[in-house]
Amino acid sequence: MFEVQYLNSISSKGKELWTDQYKTADCIENADALLVRSAAMHEMEFSDKLLAVSRAGAGVNNIPLDKCAQQGIVVFNTPGANANGVVELALCGMLLGSRDIVGGIQWVRSIQDDPDVAKKVEKGKSQFAGHEIAGKKLGVIGLGAIGGPLANNAIKLGMEVYGCDPYISIDAAWHLDSRIVPVKTREEIYENCDIISVHTPLLDSTRGMINAEAFSKMKDGVILLNFARDALVDDDALEQALSSGRVSRYVTDFPNARTASMKGVVAIPHLGASTQEAEDNCAKMAVRQVMNYLENGNIVNSVNFPNCDMGKCTKAARLLILHKNIPNSLGRFTSAVARENMNISDMLNRSRGEYACTMLDLDSPVPQSVVDEIMAAEGVLRVRVIV
């Protein structure tokens, strides 16, 4: 029996997937797995029993990834499960940036009690005039689960679309509309596009990448969309670009203490994944990944260990080893098994940066002596026997 604890509420569509092998833990210390959305976990202490953390969403800033890895706790997220909700909101943001819809609505609210509101609307509507997006040039930086579909939809709306993603996966590339113009550098996006939408992960290399130098290369009156991460845009440079007219409007799903009060900013309260469908999809993916890991040892969509998937174990036992990525680790593990005259019917070894995962399917049960020997090997973080 596995025990699961929720740090935030998740959709019932996900909870319905648990089998009778699972129950809700009475406390965090007893949990084999934690499911989380936004709860802050950096100050938490984790018990030795905890095997997995699954984030029902994409961002994992609230989870101490390296601390979990050091304790042999696999952290999952749910990439793509909420993508459609974010894509639709980004399309909405493009329209909000091109037409002063928000300003117009606020103005109507301010005169709603005036008996001549209809006449005033006709006289005053010109102050909120905008432009259509058909025929405009859209630049999409990052063509993954959100940027790719956004680019495809923009083509259908009659836009000329430029895409930049030096790390695009083969699968994502196959799904792009052939009419999207591929460019090699962000500078080509800055120089050519009327609307720019950012869809890159927040890394040390991308933090503040939309800075004063980037703004200096953009066209006057450009619209900037940020439905990825707040810190991708430098706030000081943004404020200057808005006041100078280089940026006509900044539409973001991540307002902060600076941008929320800036003139020319349309600040949305992080609604990208706030749809029932997205919450359902994230919960279902999070639960399925936890079940697959707890029952089979398979790692799919981990953010701190490599993906490692051998399907359902059909042999006598499966040995799952989470370890540091150091030389000759695999040799040590297979030697420990060989000394007990055990046959390895299948195996898989994957690494990701500092960490690695090894899976061994065995034709006979695993004695505790083998587990102890492997656990004592250099760099080993956790050993699990799955039968």
pLDDT digits 0-9 by tens, 321-337: 999 999 999 999 999 99
Q: Domain coordinates of the chain in residue numbers?
A: 1-82+273-304, 84-95+130-267, 311-387
Residue range 19-42: average pLDDT? 96
Distances 268 to 93, 256, 273, 288 between C-alpha atoms, Å: 9, 11, 12, 31
- CATH class as words, domain 311-387: alpha beta
84-95+130-267 has the same fold as 1-82+273-304: yes
CB-based burial of residue 262 (10 Å sphere; 0-12 exposed, 13-18 middle, 19+ buried)?
Answer: middle
The predicted pLDDT at position 58 comes to: 83
CATH class belonging to 84-95+130-267:
alpha beta
Cβ 50 vs Cβ 74: under 8 Å: no
pLDDT above 90 for 203: no
Among 238, 176, 172, which Cα is nearest to 211's? Answer: 238
Residue 201 has pLDDT above 90, yes or no: no
In this prediction, residue 123 has a pLDDT band, given cuts at 50, 70 and 90, of very high
Tell me: the pLDDT tens digits for 97-111?
999 999 999 999 999
For the stretch 37-46, contacts whose Cβ atoms lie closer than 8 Å and that sit 24 or more positions apart, written own/partner, are 37/7, 37/8, 37/9, 37/10, 38/8, 38/62, 39/7, 39/8, 41/7, 42/67, 46/71, 46/73
Is residue 266 within 8 Å of 106, Cβ to Cβ?
A: no
pLDDT-derived band at 93, boundaries 50, 70, 90: very high
Which two three-digit tokens encode residue 300? 């799919």
Q: Sheet with 317-324: list strands edge to edge.
A: 344-352, 355-362, 317-324, 380-386
The answer on pLDDT for 31 being more than 90 is yes
End-to-end alpha-carbon separation of the chain, Å? 13
**Helix ranges restricted to H, 159-275:** 170-174, 186-192, 212-216, 235-244
> Distance between CA 70 and CA 177 in Å, rounded?
42
pLDDT tens across 230-282, in order?
A: 999 999 999 999 999 999 999 999 999 999 999 999 999 999 989 999 999 99
Angle at 231 (CA atoms; ends 230, 232), nearest 5 degrees: 95
pLDDT above 90 for 286: yes
User: Once rounded to an integer, what is the mean pLDDT over residues 133-141?
Assistant: 98
- Mapped onto helix, strand or coil, the DSSP state of residue 361 is strand
CATH of domain 1-82+273-304: 3.40.50.720
Q: Residue 61's pLDDT band (boundaries 50, 70, 90)?
A: confident
Report pTM. Answer: 0.81
The average pLDDT across 369-375 equals 96
Query: Looking at the predicted structure, is the pLDDT value of residue 6 above 90?
Result: yes
Q: Partners of 384 in the beta sheet?
A: 320
Proportion of the chain above pLDDT 90, given as a percent: 95
CB 272 within 8 A of CB 89: yes
pLDDT of residue 254: 95
pLDDT in tens, 155-175: 999 999 999 999 998 989 999
pLDDT band, residue 372 (cuts 50/70/90): very high
